């Protein structure tokens, strides 16, 4: 069996050894001012909002195939490219791109463990000059295996084979902090704040996987279940989606509308 070009979670030193490879596409999801100051060599910048569609009050929705085709073509994606995504905010922006790649069926990707923070801390080379993407023609076909929309969630509320995993803070989950017309959580959802998977002591890398796995198993989030993750706009939950994939959970979905849609819909049940 051929070894993958890079592992799903790639360390800075592993990535540095591959810099300049013709099939490597490094994508920076940081804000423009951060990218202008420093970024990985050869990294092209992608505006985070280009990965989302807003239909207020629902935010963070999945754009259609035409728009995503334009976005992916704009960064120079081709079927042979291995994408490495990173940011400077714990990986959630980068993870939203990787979830989107799953949705369009592009399987060759990695998350840079620790992102820009770990890269810089370890003294790897950076650039200030922006990299101009070599635009491509990438035709997107949306697939539904990684997506849970509002209808899917409603249909599976009482499905014992499905776990709804809420990546928000405890206050948002219990409704004491409300960021929608109604506070609370989707009935039956289990709370696991996504920051619990991040090790800030070690430059925003993922915590050791066995600790994360144990905590999820204790909550009843087990691999034989189908897991649907959500937060406010599928920003934080995109990170949790990646974590579950990295842990080997075979069936994971992301709810792009998340609480901005569910909590603002008058006909949806809440707890």
Give the residue among 88, 56, 42, 53 at the shortest CA–CA distance from 234: 53
Q: Is 76 left (phi over 0), alpha (psi -120 to 50) or beta?
A: left
Separation between Cα atoms, residue 252 and residue 245, nearest integer Å: 7
From the candidates 84, 112, 153, 231, which is the catalytic residue?
231
Scored b (16 or more CB within 10 A) or e, 127-151 reads eeeebebeeeebebeeeeebbbbbe
**Computed from CA positions of residues 191, 195, 201, 202, in that sequence, does the dihedral angle turn out positive or negative?**
positive
Report the side by side order of strands in the sheet with 190-191. 190-191, 162-166, 226-230, 252-254
As given in the structure block, the two tokens for residue 256 are 């792009």
As given in the structure block, the two tokens for residue 95 are 């993870």
Neighbours of 110 (CB within 10 A): 25
231 is catalytic: yes
Separation between Cα atoms, residue 189 and residue 180, nearest integer Å: 17
Residues with a catalytic annotation lie at 231
């Amino acid at each position: 069996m051929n070894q993958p070009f890079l592992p799903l979670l790639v360390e800075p030193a592993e990535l540095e050894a591959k810099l300049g490879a013709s099939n490597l596409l490094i994508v920076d999801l940081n804000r423009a001012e951060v990218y202008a100051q420093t970024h990985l060599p050869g990294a092209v910048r992608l505006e985070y909002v280009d990965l989302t569609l807003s239909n207020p009050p629902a935010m963070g929705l999945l754009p259609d195939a035409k728009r995503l085709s334009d976005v992916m073509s704009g960064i120079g994606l081709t079927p042979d490219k291995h994408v490495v995504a990173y940011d400077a905010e714990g990986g959630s922006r980068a993870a939203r791109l990787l979830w989107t790649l799953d949705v369009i069926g592009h399987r060759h990707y990695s998350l840079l463990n620790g992102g820009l923070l770990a890269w810089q801390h370890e003294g790897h080379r950076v650039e200030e000059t922006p990299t101009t993407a070599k635009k491509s023609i990438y035709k997107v076909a949306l697939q539904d295996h990684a997506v849970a929309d509002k209808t899917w969630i409603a249909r599976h509320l009482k499905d014992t084979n499905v776990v709804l995993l809420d990546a928000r803070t405890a206050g948002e989950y219990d409704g004491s902090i409300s960021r929608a017309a109604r506070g609370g959580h989707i009935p039956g959802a289990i709370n696991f704040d996504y920051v619990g998977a991040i090790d800030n002591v070690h430059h925003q890398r993922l915590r050791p996987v066995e600790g994360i796995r144990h905590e999820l198993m204790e909550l009843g989030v087990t691999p034989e279940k189908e897991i649907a993750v959500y937060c406010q706009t599928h920003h934080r939950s995109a990170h949790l989606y990646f974590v579950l994939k990295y842990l080997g959970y075979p069936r994971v979905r992301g709810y792009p509308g998340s609480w901005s849609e569910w909590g603002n819909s008058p006909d949806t049940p809440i707890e």
